[in-house]
């Protein structure tokens, strides 16, 4: 998996914005990505030192539109803590 396949998109919510003050950044990552792959991808793409990686797996929610029903896809979230004094430039304008 390439680095850009591992990191799919950032998560920008009130909770993730509060975590940014602590140097923690949240991303949706590939379901099969491991912690070392996520660490390497963030370090190579954003040129920062990663201290810690936490991952969480989420089941897709049930959704219904009239008679049609189904599930949203399962997904994986990663919370990355960068070294003190470093930031990820992608999030600075938020």
Domain ranges, ordered by start, for the chain: 3-86
> Among 3.30.460.20, 3.30.70.330, 3.40.50.620, 3.40.50.300, what is the CATH number of 3-86?
3.30.70.330
Do the Cβ atoms of 10 and 91 come closer than 8 Å? Answer: yes
* 65-81 pLDDT, tens digit each: 999 999 999 999 999 99
pTM: predicted TM-score of the whole model, two decimal places: 0.89
The rounded distance, in Å, linking the Cα atoms of 52 and 80 is 6
* 5-21 pLDDT, tens digit each: 999 999 999 999 999 99
Q: Where are the alpha helices (DSSP H) in the chain?
A: 3-6, 14-20, 35-46
In our burial notation (b when 16+ CB lie closer than 10 A, e otherwise), range 63-76 reads eeeeeeeeeeeeeb
* Residue 93 pLDDT: 61
* Residue 89 pLDDT: 83
* Residue 90 pLDDT: 76
């Amino acid at each position: 998996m390439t680095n850009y396949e591992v990191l799919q998109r950032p998560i920008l919510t009130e909770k993730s914005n509060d975590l940014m003050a602590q140097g923690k950044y949240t991303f949706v990552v590939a379901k099969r990505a491991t912690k070392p792959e996520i660490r390497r991808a963030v370090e190579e793409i954003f040129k920062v030192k990663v201290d810690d990686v936490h991952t969480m797996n989420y089941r897709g929610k049930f959704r219904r539109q009239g008679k049609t029903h189904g599930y949203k896809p399962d997904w994986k979230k990663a919370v990355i803590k960068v070294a003190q004094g470093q930031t990820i430039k992608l999030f600075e304008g938020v």
